[in-house]
């Protein structure tokens, strides 16, 4: 991975929330992301309702996917997204898949494959998560996910699992 991104990189960011008015959390995060001088939005999916992964004793999630272009390196983008999570009340806990005000994940960073302790891209589990694949397919139906395959083929192997579209056009 390059430490400096000199040209614009297409990135896909997964957004999820199941606490403190999840729809508002998602839309506020979208606004914060695209307010960055080095990030420009290309597309934003509909909002989707999904059951939680892991412990079921938590509220359902609202999810979306944002496509943007940036000059930021993957690690700079990760830090920026974690700053937004923190500003919106995210408390990182040892328990995985717990309730959270906001979860921002770098799903794809250009065509790069990144394997660092703090960041793995394509995002782990991207091919098994309907709440990622279906919104991603909505805004990038021709995308190939590095070392995973074409989105159309991945969707065929990923059941909806209760995923429901909430809105066709999310506005900020």
Asked, for residue 96, whether it belongs to a domain, the answer is yes
Asked, for residue 100, whether it belongs to a domain, the answer is yes
Asked, for residue 143, whether it belongs to a domain, the answer is yes
Asked, for residue 172, whether it belongs to a domain, the answer is no
> Annotated catalytic, 103?
yes
> Annotated catalytic, 57?
no
CATH number of the domain to which 45 belongs? 3.30.70.560
Summarised one tens digit per residue, pLDDT across range 34-54 is: 999 999 999 999 999 999 877
Reduced to 3 states (helix: H, G, I; strand: E, B; else coil), residue 133 is: helix
Element (H, E) at 30: helix 22-34
Summarised one tens digit per residue, pLDDT across range 82-116 is: 999 999 986 766 555 656 789 999 999 999 999 99
* Domain range for 160: 9-167
Structure tokens at 55: 């412990």
Total number of domains constituting the chain: 1
Least confident of 52-56, 68-72, 149-153, 159-163: 52-56
Asked, for residue 3, whether it belongs to a domain, the answer is no
Structure tokens at 135: 């919104």
Higher pLDDT, 14 or 2: 14
Strand-pairing partners, residue 114, are 121
Asked, for residue 18, whether it belongs to a domain, the answer is yes
Summarised one tens digit per residue, pLDDT across range 116-156 is: 999 999 999 899 999 999 999 999 999 999 999 999 999 99
> Annotated catalytic, 38?
no
Higher pLDDT, 45 or 162: 45
Asked, for residue 114, whether it belongs to a domain, the answer is yes
- Please tell me which residue in 105, 115, 129, 157 is annotated as part of the active site: 105
In the numeric block, the tokens 């080095």 are attached to 38
> Annotated catalytic, 100?
yes
Per-residue pLDDT at 3 exceeds 50: no
**CA gap 63, 24 in Å, rounded:** 11
Structure tokens at 125: 């589990």
Assessment of whether the complete model's pTM goes beyond 0.85: yes
Per-residue pLDDT at 172 exceeds 50: no
- Please tell me which residue in 10, 38, 83, 90 is annotated as part of the active site: 90
Asked, for residue 25, whether it belongs to a domain, the answer is yes
Question: Is 15:83 a contact under the CB 8 Å cutoff?
Answer: no
- pLDDT level of residue 2 (50, 70, 90 thresholds): very low
Question: Is 39:33 a contact under the CB 8 Å cutoff?
Answer: yes
- Please tell me which residue in 100, 115, 129, 157 is annotated as part of the active site: 100
């Amino acid at each position: 991975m390059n430490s400096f991104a000199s040209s614009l990189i297409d990135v896909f960011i997964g957004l999820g929330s199941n606490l403190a008015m999840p729809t508002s959390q998602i839309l506020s995060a979208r606004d914060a992301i695209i307010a960055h001088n080095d990030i420009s939005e290309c597309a934003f999916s509909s909002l989707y309702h999904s059951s939680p992964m892991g412990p079921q004793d938590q509220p359902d999630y609202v999810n979306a996917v944002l496509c943007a272009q940036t000059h930021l390196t993957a690690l700079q983008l990760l830090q920026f997204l974690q700053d937004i999570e923190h500003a919106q009340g995210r408390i990182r806990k040892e328990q995985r898949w717990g309730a959270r005000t906001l979860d921002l994940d770098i799903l794809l960073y250009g065509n790069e494959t990144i394997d660092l302790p703090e960041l793995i891209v394509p995002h782990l589990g991207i091919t098994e998560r309907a709440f990622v694949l279906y919104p991603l397919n909505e805004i990038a139906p021709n995308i190939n996910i590095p070392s995973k395959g074409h989105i159309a083929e991945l969707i065929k192997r990923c059941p909806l699992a209760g995923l429901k579209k909430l809105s066709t056009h999310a506005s900020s």
